[in-house]
Structure 1
Amino acid sequence: MRQDSAILTFATDGPGLVEITREIGHWLASTGIEQGLVTMLCRHTSASLLIQENAAFEVRGDLVDWLARAAPEGRHYAHDDEGPDDMPAHIKAMLTGVNLQIPVISGAMALGTWQGIYLAEHRSRAHRRQVAVHVLGE
């Protein structure tokens, strides 16, 4: 059994979904592991990771819009240290999750045809986000 890990950094432009499938796939290929499990952790409390459709661009916008309605910005939260988008960002990350696990088969992630890995930015301004990746296999 072998393993490898890294911390990958991604730029975001404010609220939205940034597809990171290709970057994770390139890192995975560099490890040479053919069979196993890749695990990802978003190292932030106001951003998250998700697997979602990567064919219809409108899906991304609809998801971001839904999250904005589910956790609206405002000064009605006790925790607003960094502004009105602070607590809603934490709620959105709680709803969508910060980690993923994907089987590795024949050196590639076993994602479905229309599935992509997304880093969801929940804050109003641009950030540089880190995703820790780890693969265990042979």
Structure 2
Amino acid sequence: MWDQREIVLSPRSRGFHRVTDEVVAGLPRLLDCRVGLVHLQLLHTSASLTLNESADPDVRHDMDAFLRDLVPGDLPYFRHTLEGDDDMPAHVAASLFGTQLTVAVRGGRLALGTWQGIWLGEHRDHGGSRRLVATLQGSRDGQE
């Protein structure tokens, strides 16, 4: 079985945000898939996708603090500034984390670890809604 959907994620402030529930809600055929893969492709170059711990909100805070230190917004050699001072650092951060993610499917659910969740890294101060293409490939009965 193959299914492809575009999922629109609600706007968020700069930082890391758990979006697992929005992704699952956007994949109604996930429940029919016994074994497979979901590939997520974010259609933006100033945000990212990653898997990380979702139980403790301090992890999201610490990731954002580290990233802001690693890629500050006031680097004098950035030339791409027409869209704002936060735009080029956002592109760098998106390239570091990536804009695609593949997650295994098992028994009609995403096969995530106990504490894992899908995160959107919003790297702009005001990035707006974000779109992703979700492609589900798998089998209803666990067979080829």
| TM range, smaller chain | over 0.9
Partner secondary structure for residue 122 of structure 1: strand
For residues 22 and 10 of structure 2, the distance between their equivalents in structure 1, rounded to whole angstroms, comes to: 12
The corresponding residue for 2:110 is 109
Q: Residue 34 of structure 1 contacts residue 107 of structure 1 at CA under 8 Å; is this kept in 2? A: yes
Identity of aligned residues (%): 36
2:5–2:27 contact (8 Å) kept in structure 1 = no
Query: Compared with structure 1, are the counterparts of its residues 79 and 126 closer, same or farther at alpha carbon in structure 2 (3 Å cutoff)?
Result: closer
Instruction: Output the CA distance in 2 between the equivalents of 1:46 and 1:72.
Output: 14
Note the residue ranges of structure 1 that are not aligned, 5 or more in a row: none
1:75–1:84 Cα contact (<8 Å) kept: no
How many angstroms does 1:24 deviate by?
1.8
Deviations 1:53-96 (A, max 9, x none): 00110000100111111110026211111111111000000111
Q: Name the residue aligned to 2:49.
A: 49
Further displaced range: 28-37 or 94-103? 28-37
Tell me if structure 1 keeps the 8 A contact 2:33–2:106: no
3-state secondary structure, aligned to 1:113: coil
Gap change, CA 1:11 and 1:29, over 3 Å in 2: closer
Equivalent pairs, count: 137
Instruction: Tell me the distance in 1 between the aligned counterparts of 2:117 and 2:71.
Output: 24
Q: Is the partner of 1:123 in helix, strand or coil?
A: strand
The equivalences for 1:1-138 within 5 A come to 2-31=1-30, 32-74=32-74, 76=76, 77-138=78-139
Bigger Cα displacement from structure 2, 5-14 vs 88-97: 5-14
TM-score by length of 2: 0.89
Tell me which amino acid in the other structure corresponds to 1:61. H
Alpha-carbon distance in structure 2 between the residues aligned to 1:18 and 1:34:
28
What SS does the aligned partner of 1:112 have? coil
- State how far apart, in whole Å, the 1-side matches of 2:87 and 2:127 are: 14
Q: How far apart in 2 are the matches of 1:120 and 1:27?
A: 19
Deviation at 1:29, TM superposition (A): 4.4
Of 59-68 and 17-26, more deviation after overlay is shown by 17-26
Large movers: runs of 4+ above 6 Å = none
Root mean square deviation of aligned Cα: 1.3
